[in-house]
A and B are shown apart, each in its own frame.
Chain A
């Protein structure tokens, strides 16, 4: 963007949420800038998942407002497919793919959602005529090093490759915001590093990302900006270097561990 003013993709203002007597989120303010990778870190139970689901309009906050580009998501009544059609793609802690389909079809299906919207009744259109989508899917698989398995079933992939496939499925939709919920959860070091490399590549494409993560290695390798969540409030926010040295963060989350 050539504009000097920052472009805010997602803006969360004064959000509070209570479950029963438990204060899950209190007075959260967050702005996600276009093209940036914003990490949200925090110990277990800090409210990361609640925040993520509030961000995409799945949970209705008790007060405050959530805006995604020109859309007001405060109501909390968004269906998953509505969220996606607004331009938000999501990667899950456990990769959600189509195990019975080939890798190529796995990547082609999200492209149809991007092209056709949430529903189109066209039982007589032929798959073989969708060359453009097939080529784009194939080139993404090549970028992600999965092209040689394009015609194999996705269910047989390793955890790390399933994650790569899931990322390819998100990218073919050219999302305006990509949500990554612990993208390296349950991965071996080797796979984690490969995933970090991949996410760095995506960063070069200028995609806006929100990462929820508690692996510090991943966060500091990728994030432009970090918000630290503890007991439902953001206790610190800043560039990775600021966060590393922040006394409150060390106390609440990092403990005495060296980063």
Chain B
């Protein structure tokens, strides 16, 4: 599969327009699949961004980071602190979150990229777990430990105070007077998702992106070809860290609090799953992977035995009981079992993820698969 292509400007513009249209009309079409409410749509956009950024590192360079949740957490904390100290306006919060996560990524990336392969993954995991434990205990004055960092009514908010903005009730994030909750929150996330997609598209169409893929393909040749792989890898690491920081920031914007659990390794693992499920190294795949996981999480985790009982009502009583017993571990809190099965099925039958399935179906209909486009 060819990842980086020199696509024409018209085709890219079309792709971006199509993407924007699908994202912005999500509140309409998502109703049809039972996902038409803002909380879930926000999650699609936020985790979509997280996965796009992660894919720029893992998909292009092949370096599997197992610690990107650290940047997610850093972005959230930075955002909440901006809400506490500066203003409830989201612009400074987002900029601060992205800048600080870039700084973190620079340090962690610089140290972790001294190693490759599994050792790189372990180093990133170690840094992320360190961050998690620091946030949970030692850095309590900054992170408020296990309670999590919250925005309070009597926080200083110097910019808001200077401008005479008063907070009534519990403080909510806003964009120049528009409160970012519900659908307005979703549209803010969607706008940033489209921007993030555009940046990713540009990288996928650039010599820079091609060099990242070349590092994945053959690092020895890359070195003897005159490139120093380290700064390329570090750039990719920092860029993907900034995406993670942005995603973390958006999490804190739609729900103004930040907790240490956002940094835990399960969150790092989740973005790896999303990227692989959707299609590593493809433009759209990671977003589809993120949306798929969040969608199924939403459906399956809401099921309980009662719902199952109703679903199997058409069966004879004794058979329905068996079916309920068998399926109940896969729903509710146990929905991760379903995720595991889904993941295994996809990886065994479609190693290229959902995007490979799309390409195969496109191939069946006689259309020449447009590699790299998808």
- Number of residues on chain A facing chain B (CB within 8 A): 40
- Shortest beta-carbon distance from B363 to chain A in Å: 17
B5 within 8 A of A: yes
Q: Decide if A85 touches B214 in the complex (CB within 8 Å).
A: no
The 8 Å CB contact of B208, one of A96, A97, A121, is: A121
B156 within 8 A of A: no
A110 within 8 A of B: yes
Q: Decide if A119 touches B227 in the complex (CB within 8 Å).
A: yes
Residues of B within 8 A of A126 (CB): 6, 9, 202, 205-206
Q: Decide if B214 touches A101 in the complex (CB within 8 Å).
A: yes
Chain B binding surface SS class: helix
B218 within 8 A of A: yes
- Shortest beta-carbon distance from A138 to chain B in Å: 13
Of B18-26, B36-44, B79-87, B228-236, the segment with at least 4 beta carbons within 8 Å of chain A is: B228-236
A85 vs B224: C-alpha distance when bound (angstroms): 9
A99-B226 contact, Cβ under 8 Å, with A122-B208, A124-B206, A153-B2: no
Residues of B within 8 A of A127 (CB): 4-6, 205-207, 209-210
Residues of B within 8 A of A6 (CB): none
Q: Decide if A124 touches B202 in the complex (CB within 8 Å).
A: yes
Residues of B within 8 A of A169 (CB): 221, 225
Residues of A within 8 A of B1 (CB): 100
The 8 Å CB contact of B221, one of A97, A120, A122, is: A97
Q: Decide if B210 touches A109 in the complex (CB within 8 Å).
A: yes
B216 within 8 A of A: yes
Residue of A nearest to B228 (CB): A118
A113 within 8 A of B: yes
Q: Decide if A125 touches B232 in the complex (CB within 8 Å).
A: no
Residues of B within 8 A of A117 (CB): 226
**Which one of B4, B209, B220, B222 has the highest number of Cβ atoms from chain A below 10 Å of its Cβ?**
B222
Residues of A within 8 A of B218 (CB): 96-99
**Which one of A125, A126, A130 has the highest number of Cβ atoms from chain B below 10 Å of its Cβ?**
A126
A92 vs B7: C-alpha distance when bound (angstroms): 33
A112 within 8 A of B: yes
A89 vs B211: C-alpha distance when bound (angstroms): 18
Q: Decide if B226 touches A118 in the complex (CB within 8 Å).
A: yes
B125 within 8 A of A: no
A128 vs B1: C-alpha distance when bound (angstroms): 19
Give chain A interface residues in 90-120, CB to chain B under 8 Å: 90, 92, 96-102, 105, 108-110, 112-114, 117-120
Residue of B nearest to A117 (CB): B226
B239 within 8 A of A: yes
A194 within 8 A of B: no
A79-B226 contact, Cβ under 8 Å, with A96-B221, A121-B208, A124-B206: no
A80 within 8 A of B: yes
A118-B227 contact, Cβ under 8 Å, with A101-B217, A123-B202, A127-B4: yes
Residue of B nearest to A134 (CB): B6
B321 within 8 A of A: no
Residues of A within 8 A of B228 (CB): 79, 81, 118-119
A118 vs B228: C-alpha distance when bound (angstroms): 5
Residue of B nearest to A91 (CB): B224
Residue of A nearest to B3 (CB): A100
A98 vs B225: C-alpha distance when bound (angstroms): 11
- Shortest beta-carbon distance from A118 to chain B in Å: 4
A98-B214, A123-B209, A124-B206 are known contacts; what are 15 more A-B pairs with Cβ within 8 Å? A79-B223, A80-B223, A80-B224, A96-B221, A98-B221, A102-B2, A112-B207, A112-B211, A122-B207, A123-B199, A123-B202, A124-B202, A127-B6, A127-B209, A128-B8
Using a CB–CB distance below 8 Å, which chain B residues touch chain A? Answer: 1-2, 4-9, 199, 202-203, 205-211, 213-214, 216-218, 220-228, 231-232, 235, 239
List, sorted by A's number, 10 A–B pairs whose CB atoms are closer than 8 Å: A92-B224, A102-B2, A119-B228, A119-B231, A123-B209, A126-B206, A127-B205, A127-B210, A128-B8, A134-B6
Closest 10 CB pairs of A and B: A113-B226, A84-B226, A127-B6, A80-B223, A96-B221, A98-B217, A128-B6, A118-B228, A123-B208, A119-B231
Using a CB–CB distance below 8 Å, which chain A residues touch chain B? Answer: 79-81, 83-85, 89-90, 92, 96-102, 105, 108-110, 112-114, 117-128, 130, 134, 153, 169, 173
